[in-house]
Amino acid sequence: MTAPAPKPDLLVIDDEVQIRRLLRLTLESAGYRVREAETGALGLNEAAVARPDAVILDLSLPDLGGLEVLRHLREWSQVPVLILSVRGGETDKIAALDAGADDYLTKPFGGGELLARLRVLLRRAQPAGEVSIVRFGDVEVDFTKRTVTREGADLHLTVKEYALLRLLLQHRGKVVTHRQLLREVWGPQHEADTHYLRVHMANLRKKIEPADTPFIKTESGIGYRFTDAG
């Protein structure tokens, strides 16, 4: 039996305990998983490690400014970002949107509007040209439900294994370099950690590949390529 689709994973970067508590209550009651960070540095680290589906970011943080956090994040990730700030001026909104924010909501906010804006951001996050279901051999990958099954049975991929498989399938037939895989899945600070990649790729192969059909080809010294040729 196919496992239920995982809940969307949200990261809240805000130094106000009360706001984080309110957001957690609002978001979890709507079916989201919530992670928290109280500083910009912690938020960037959590974004790199956890790879959330969307980020809610305050502009006023005790270490890095919210715009600086956003610029750093945009150097390696296109995760949807909703700015949530007491600053309601047009200049602040323009600066945030120009820096890469996807939407802007002013505090105090209504829970219904927040949830509606998040739904829009998450809908936009899937590329328009991306198919929702991919099949190879007897394996089916459902990008909408975020499930990987073989003849209806869940293959129980870890978060990292799923992220690697998704990237390879998005670039099907093309070589994806070690650096790109590490950057996209683990974050830019791990671009040299090829041992992470080898271990997780070996585990992924054991789960999705029959003994006689190696779908994931190793391009020695370069990266990996997904092929149906076997």
Tens digits of residue pLDDT in 101-132: 989 999 989 999 999 999 988 877 665 455 67
pTM: 0.60
Of 9, 6, 15, give the one whose Cα is nearest residue 118: 9
> What was the pLDDT predicted at 5?
52
Give the residue ranges of the chain where pLDDT is below 50: 1-4, 128, 230
pLDDT at 51: 82
Q: In which residue are the tokens 């040209």 written? A: 129
CATH of the domain at 93: 3.40.50.2300
Domain annotation covers residue 2: no
Provide the total of helices (H) and of strands (E) in the chain, helices listed first: 8, 12
Asked if residue 77 and residue 141 are part of one domain, the reply reads no
In this prediction, residue 6 carries a pLDDT of 60
Give the pLDDT score at 3: 45
Report the DSSP pairing between strands 147-150 and 33-37: unpaired
Given this model, what pLDDT does residue 131 score? 60
Last residue of one domain, picked from the residues 107, 125, 143:
125
Position 2 scores a pLDDT of: 44
Boundary residue ending a domain (58, 90, 125): 125
Look at the chain and report how many structural domains it folds into: 2
In a domain, 218, yes or no: yes
Does residue 160 contact residue 50 with C-beta atoms inside 8 Å? Answer: no
User: What is residue 67's predicted lDDT score, i.e. its pLDDT?
Assistant: 93
Q: Which domain holds residue 217?
A: 133-226
Cis preceding-peptide flag for 108 (omega within 30 of 0): yes
pLDDT at 18: 94
DSSP one-letter code for 10: E
Pairwise CA distance, residues 123 & 116, whole Å: 11
